[in-house]
Every structure is written in C-alpha cells, then in structure tokens.
Structure 1
Amino acid sequence: MVNPIRIGVLGTHSTGKTTLLKRIEMEVRGHGISVARTGRLAKRAAGIGLPKMQHHTAASTEWIIAQGIADEIAAAAQGAEVVLADRASLDAIAYLHAAVEFRGEHLHRLERERLRLLASTQAPKYDLLFATVLDPDVPVDQSHDYDPRYRLLVDQHVHGLLADDPIPHVRVTSDPVSQLRAIEQALQLCLQEAAV
C-alpha cells in the first residue's frame, strides 16, 4: 500500500467543494498521477436511514466520520497516489454543531468531546486542507432545499473549529483567482511529491 498525498476539503454546502476537487483531480490526472476522490457521505448516510443537514445527530456524524476514514484507507490500499477527500472529517463535526444550534438543543459534553477527538485524529493525515468560504451573494442551486440560516451556521462552525485548534488550512473563496490558486497549490504539492 502506498502512502498517498491526502488533500481534504471542508465547508458549508454549495460553496464549491466538489467542483474544486474535480478540477484538482483533472489537473493531477493530466500529469499522469493516479487519483481517487472520496465523497457523497451525507447522501450515503441518508440512504441507510440516517438524518442529514439540520437533522444531524451524533450517530449520523460518527457514521460519516468513520465511513470517510474507511473510504480514504480503501483508496490508499487500491494504490492511489493522491486521495482527494470531499468532506474532511472535521466537516462532520461542524455540521453537527450547526444542527444542534439550529434546533436549539445541546449535545452532551462527553459525546461532543468523543466525536471531536475522533475527527481530530484525522487532521494530521492531510497534506493540504482547503476550507471553502460562504459567499451569500452566490445563488444556491434551487433544486436543493437549503435553509439559509443553517448554511450560515455550518460556515461559522467550520471556520471556528479550524481556528480553535488551530489546524493548518487554506481558505478558498468563490473568487476565481482564489479557486485557481488552490488548484495550483494542490497540483504543485502533487508534482513535488511525485518527483521525490
């Protein structure tokens, strides 16, 4: 099993995470480097009956973190030189904290700490971590029923969690220059490692 370059992305919904990773994947593949992209965790969780978005629970959050870890390990085991994680593990914690705040509830301290520890054990595995930034002026795809308050809460919790630890990351805005810089940074990292 190779030790791949791991690039993760996190951020609130409809801020360009998947699009960014698709663009990085195309650029890296274009240089002959094998890439695996993980993702669709919330949709897969919902497919087995777990709640998502503002209905997230400790159980759905734990499943998403554990499944994300398993997907990344599987990608490495299958020989990918680069693993692109669509929703790094800390993302699930931000979604849960936002959901609990949205519903006006409180998560038991031990449960909150346990899940945070599980997610934080994964942060050092990423060679590069991107955090998308919510731009409220960018319209959301109308086919999705997103609550704007919940979406904003997720954004606040994502960046709050990253600042709390502090976890090295690169903020990516909706600005095309910011997007291009992120793609170039990821490509440069992959090419440097491939040359070693």
Structure 2
Amino acid sequence: MTTTSPIRIGVMGAHSTGKTMLCKRVEMELRGNGMTPARTGSIGKRAALNGLPKMQKHTVASTEWVIAQGIADVIAAGAQGADVILADRAPHDAIAYLNAALEFRGEQIPDLERDRLLLLASTQLPKYDLLLATVLDETMPVAQKHDYDPRYRVLVDQHVHALLATESMPHVCVTSDPDSQANAVAKALELCLKAAAV
C-alpha cells in the first residue's frame, strides 16, 4: 500500500465489532488535528432500501453492489475535498460477508464469479494506505435492536481474517481491548499527520 491523496483508511470486520465506533474515533482525532476527514458507511442499509439481500442472505449481485457503492462513496468523498477518507467497510469486507453467507447456507458459487468479485475488490486495494480489521469478541453484548444470527456473525469474522491472510493484505487487527483500539487510532493518526507534513 502506498500513500495516496486523499489518504484512505479502510475498516473490515464482522457486524457489531466496533467498526463504526473505530472510524468515529479516528475521525474525531483527525478533526482535532486540523484535518478534513470524511466517513463512508451505511452501505448495508442502503442495499436493503434497494431491495438487495444482506447478511446471511447475501448474493453475488448484492456483494457486487456493495463493493461498487463503496468505491463510488470513496470517490465522492475525495471529490468533496476530504484529505482523509475512512471507509466503514473496505471492498474485501463484502466478499467476506458473501463467503460467510454461502457457508451459512451450504451453497457455492462458480469460481468465475468469485474471481470476478475478488478482482473488483483488488483493484481498490493499492489505493488504501491502512486497513484496520476488527476481531470478534463473543463476550461483548450486541445491541438488542439487532437480530443478528450468532453463527453467521462468527462465520463473517472467520472469513474476514481468512481473506486478509490468503490475499496477503497488510492490516492491523483491532480487538475489543481498549489498548488495541487506542493503538489502531494512534497508527491511523500517525499515518495521516506524517502524510500531511510531506
């Protein structure tokens, strides 16, 4: 990964593992240091509004839409003048969710479709300066407003980290431990401030 303009930081991980909160913390630190960050997100909600399946019902089509919408959101944020873009769901995240959904349902897709989605996500990987990957802590409570299937949530976590390993994507793992979260925020801030000073 190489530093680009604007700086791009992507977050991956299972639902309710602190991705959005992590993005908000980084955003707050950046604003406090005079930078102009933009945070993308709510792609899952927008997919549902467009009639696309999500979570354990993900399909190739919904995954492709999520990746493409995420790419469009990042481009739009850059066009609006952000010097740091925080992508709450980096492109490969959608593939991990699909892989988990397929395993959950006991289904497979043709290799050609899987390769096509991986290629689409991989075209964006060099544009990211930092990837943060949250780690599922099953002891942490999930908000009652969510009716997430616990088995699917575990599968998503497994597939996120398997994908990061098999695709050899440099990343920082972020656990529920406060020190781990603080370290991730500090790394993101250090990267951005260093780039801004060049």
User: What do the CA deviations read for 1:143-190 (whole angstroms, capped 9, x no partner)?
Assistant: 100000000000000000000020000000000000000011111111
Give the residue type in structure 1 aligned to 2:159. Answer: H
Counterpart of 1:36 in 2: which secondary structure? strand
Matched, 1:173 2:175: yes
Give the residue type in structure 2 aligned to 1:6. Answer: R
Q: Which residue of 2 aligns with 1:93?
A: 95
Q: Which residue of 2 aligns with 1:20?
A: 22
Q: Which residue of 2 aligns with 1:143?
A: 145
Aligned residue pairs total: 195
Runs of 4+ deviating beyond 2 Å: none
Give the residue type in structure 1 aligned to 2:52. Answer: L
Q: 1:9 aligns with which of 8, 11, 33?
A: 11
Deviation at residue 125 of structure 1 after TM alignment: 0.9
Q: Percent identical across equivalent pairs?
A: 71
Q: 1:103 aligns with which of 98, 102, 105?
A: 105
Q: 1:121 aligns with which of 120, 123, 128?
A: 123
Give the residue type in structure 1 aligned to 2:179. Answer: V
User: What do the CA deviations read for 1:31-61 (whole angstroms, capped 9, x no partner)?
Assistant: 1101110011011000110000000000000
RMSD: 0.9
Q: 2:49 aligns with which of 47, 50, 65?
A: 47
Q: 2:69 aligns with which of 54, 67, 70?
A: 67
Give the residue type in structure 2 aligned to 1:28. Answer: L
Give the residue type in structure 2 aligned to 1:171. Answer: C
Counterpart of 1:166 in 2: which secondary structure? coil
TM-score w.r.t. structure 1 length? 0.98
Deviation at residue 86 of structure 1 after TM alignment: 0.2
Q: Which residue of 1 aligns with 2:191?
A: 189
State how far apart, in whole Å, the 2-side matches of 1:83 and 1:140 are.
27
State how far apart, in whole Å, the 2-side matches of 1:10 and 1:165 are.
14
Gapped regions of structure 1 (runs ≥ 5): none
